[in-house]
């Protein structure tokens, strides 16, 4: 089995779903954190001038969503059909749209402006994302009579729901009370035996 080395900043953001899946699958990997101060020197050696990227044996691959999809497929977390895969990838893109908003907010250097951005996140952006996720979960559960986000078994979609709501849990947990299915799926992932140790020991990152 090829060795995996995952390169990303010391934040959750575009690599955490991959980390979660690898830990769930009990797949040994090197989780290399590139500090922001080291990034300018590190950047020319990346495949596309961005992070995350993954070394898989002697090959190198970039783009966070592609990496997450690969490790999920390897762990049998990609649904049972092409339609399931489409639904998972739809949710991946929703999460990426939210990441763009989160990074834009987090990167503001003017504190007054950052406060306005945070207010918008909690009053508009997060509720919109949560409502979209709640609708998708509700539709799937009504169709499959399961407790999952896509299909009738655990998939990458459930990990995306968990990871995509981490900032809300950290900053405004009561907001989740209005989205019971999102909350339940997140709790399901948090309770997975293979993740408990990692979740207990990992750093608390702001994004």
- Rounded Cα gap, residues 63 and 66, in angstroms: 6
> pLDDT per residue over 80-110, tens digit each?
999 999 999 999 999 999 999 999 999 999 9
On whether residue 98 sits in a domain, the answer given is yes
DSSP string of 63-132?
A: -HHHHHHHHHHHTT-S-SSHHHHHHHHHHHHHHHHHHHHHHHHHT--SHHHHHHHHHHIIIIIHHHHHHH
160 and 17 in contact (C-beta within 8 Å)? yes
User: Average pLDDT over the chain, rounded to whole?
Assistant: 97
Judgement on whether residues 47 and 95 belong to the same structural domain of the protein: no
Residues in the chain: 207
On whether residue 152 sits in a domain, the answer given is yes
Q: Residue 66 belongs to what domain range?
A: 4-75+194-201
On whether residue 41 sits in a domain, the answer given is yes
Judgement on whether residues 16 and 109 belong to the same structural domain of the protein: no
Contacts of 111 (CB under 8 A, 6+ apart): none
Q: Structurally, how many domains does the chain consist of?
A: 2
CA nearest neighbour of 95 among 198, 24, 12, 175 = 12
Judgement on whether residues 115 and 40 belong to the same structural domain of the protein: no
- Rounded Cα gap, residues 196 and 10, in angstroms: 20
> pLDDT per residue over 115-137, tens digit each?
999 999 999 999 999 999 999 99
CATH of the domain at 115: 1.20.1050.10
Judgement on whether residues 122 and 183 belong to the same structural domain of the protein: yes
Judgement on whether residues 119 and 20 belong to the same structural domain of the protein: no
On whether residue 173 sits in a domain, the answer given is yes
- Rounded Cα gap, residues 72 and 105, in angstroms: 29
CATH of the domain at 30: 3.40.30.10
On whether residue 206 sits in a domain, the answer given is no
On whether residue 161 sits in a domain, the answer given is yes
Q: What is the DSSP letter of 11?
A: S
């Amino acid at each position: 089995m090829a060795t995996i080395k995952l390169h990303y900043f010391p934040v959750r953001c575009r690599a955490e779903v991959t980390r979660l899946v690898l830990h769930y699958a009990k797949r040994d990997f090197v989780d290399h954190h590139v500090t922001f101060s080291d990034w300018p020197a590190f950047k020319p050696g990346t495949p596309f001038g961005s992070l995350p990227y993954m070394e898989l044996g002697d090959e190198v691959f970039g783009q966070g969503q592609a990496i997450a999809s690969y490790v999920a497929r390897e762990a049998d977390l990609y649904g049972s059909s092409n339609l399931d895969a489409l639904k998972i990838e739809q949710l991946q893109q929703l999460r990426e749209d939210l990441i763009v908003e989160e990074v834009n907010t987090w990167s503001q250097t003017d504190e007054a402006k950052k406060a306005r951005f945070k207010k918008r996140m909690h009053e508009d952006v997060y509720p919109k994302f949560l409502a979209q996720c709640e609708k998708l979960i509700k539709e799937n559960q009504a169709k499959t009579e399961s407790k999952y986000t896509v299909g009738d078994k655990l998939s990458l979609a459930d990990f995306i729901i968990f990871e995509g709501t981490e900032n809300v849990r950290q900053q405004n947990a009561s907001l989740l009370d209005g989205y019971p299915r999102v909350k339940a799926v997140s709790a399901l992932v948090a309770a997975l035996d293979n993740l408990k140790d990692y979740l207990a020991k990992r750093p608390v990152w702001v994004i």
